[in-house]
Amino acid sequence: MSTLAEILLAPHRKEALTADCVRIVEHHLNGLRSLRGLALKAGLAVLKATRPDLIPRAINRLLPDLVEALEPLYARFGQTSDRDFSLFLRKNADEAIEALRRKIDGRAAESSNEAAKSTYRKLRSTLHEEIETLFPELSKTLSGYLN
Q: Which residue has the higher pLDDT, 26 or 76?
A: 76
Can you give the pLDDT at residue 50? 80
CA dihedral 114, 116, 122, 126 (to 10 degrees): -150
Quick one: pLDDT at residue 127? 77
The per-residue pLDDT for range 54-103, each reduced to its tens digit, is 889 889 999 999 999 999 999 999 999 999 999 999 999 999 999 998 99
Sign of CA dihedral 108, 110, 116, 117: positive
State residue 125's pLDDT score. Answer: 76
Let me know: does 73 contact 92? Beta carbons within 8 Å: yes
**Residue 104 near residue 41, CB atoms below 8 Å:** no
What is the structure's pLDDT at 39? 76
pLDDT band at 48 (very low <50, low <70, confident <90, very high): confident
State pTM to two decimals.
0.84
